Amino acid sequence: MELNLFEMLIRTTFAFFAILLLARIIGKKQISQLTFFHYVTGITFGSIAAEISAQAETPFLDGLVSLIWWTVLTIFVTYLTFKSKKARVLFDDRPMIVIQSGVILNDNLEKARLHMDEVTMLLREQSIYSLDEVHHAIFETNGELTVLKKPLMREVTKEDLKISSPAPQYMPTELVSDGKIIVKNLNELNLTEEWLLKKLSKKNIHSVEDVYFAQILENGSLYTSIKNASPPS
């Protein structure tokens, strides 16, 4: 029993670091960006690692070889999709228009295996409750619905109102976290600690340790939140 426990710990440890390393090699995508191919690949990848770590009957080296080969195949297919549009369509499919000029394309809905309840649900996720607002809708390869609203239904922009909008000075970036200055972020923005302390001083904050969170905003101003601050009543 002790031997089995020790063996399982060793196998799990090796499987853990193997999947961590190979996942880094494969690359990263946000869940919302995963195509069906990458989704299935990820599940299988995890299943092989689980088999290695949990099943004592599975030879460790056999499982590891399987995991590495699965990684190689995934990288190879990903490379093909970069180089060939036909391969990209084969493995990732292609976006499909399901609503065009306000008209629902029934045939494309059937090809995408979507029914109207699913379409309306995907629209509601984007705060669109009426199909009359939709000019075009495209069912993407990651299962999301991209929507172009009718002109009268779109939000008014500053360009529509002829209002000038200066380019942002900075990318909103965290500068203080839990009382500690993030020097790396200051350096990337070509800012100094002296500059930060002056900004805090103007807000009557005389110690960085009192700051729970501070962030530079697009216009160069500073957002701050003090530790243990009470919300206004």
pLDDT tens digits, one per residue of 16-30: 777 667 666 655 554
Hey, what CATH topology would domain 96-153 get? CRO Repressor (3.30.240)
What is the C-alpha separation between 55 and 48, in angstroms, rounded?
10
Burial class of residue 162 in the structure, from the number of CB atoms within 10 Å of its CB (0-12 exposed, 13-18 middle, 19+ buried): exposed
Predicted local confidence at residue 37, as pLDDT: 66
Burial class of residue 200 in the structure, from the number of CB atoms within 10 Å of its CB (0-12 exposed, 13-18 middle, 19+ buried): buried
Is the per-residue pLDDT at 3 higher than 50? no
What is the C-alpha separation between 142 and 31, in angstroms, rounded?
9
Predicted local confidence at residue 183, as pLDDT: 93
Is the per-residue pLDDT at 36 higher than 50? yes
Is the per-residue pLDDT at 216 higher than 80? yes
- H and E: helices and strands count for the chain: 8, 8
The helix-helix angle for 2-26 and 60-83 (nearest 10°) equals 10
Terminal-residue alpha carbon distance, the chain: 61
Of the CA atoms within 13 Å of residue 228, those in its CB half-sphere come to 2
Q: Across all residues in the chain, what is the average pLDDT?
A: 80
In the block, which residue shows the tokens 């590891």?
64
Predicted local confidence at residue 175, as pLDDT: 93
What is the C-alpha separation between 43 and 97, in angstroms, rounded?
28
Indicate the residue type of 25: I
What is the C-alpha separation between 63 and 16, in angstroms, rounded?
13
Provide CATH code, domain 173-226. Answer: 3.30.240.20
What is the C-alpha separation between 205 and 197, in angstroms, rounded?
8
- % pLDDT > 90, the chain: 22
Of the CA atoms within 13 Å of residue 206, those in its CB half-sphere come to 1
Q: Report the range of poorest mean pLDDT among 37-41, 126-130, 159-163, 187-191.
A: 37-41
Pairing relationship of beta strands 103-104 and 96-100 according to DSSP bridges: antiparallel
What is the C-alpha separation between 115 and 125, in angstroms, rounded?
16
Is the per-residue pLDDT at 210 higher than 60? yes
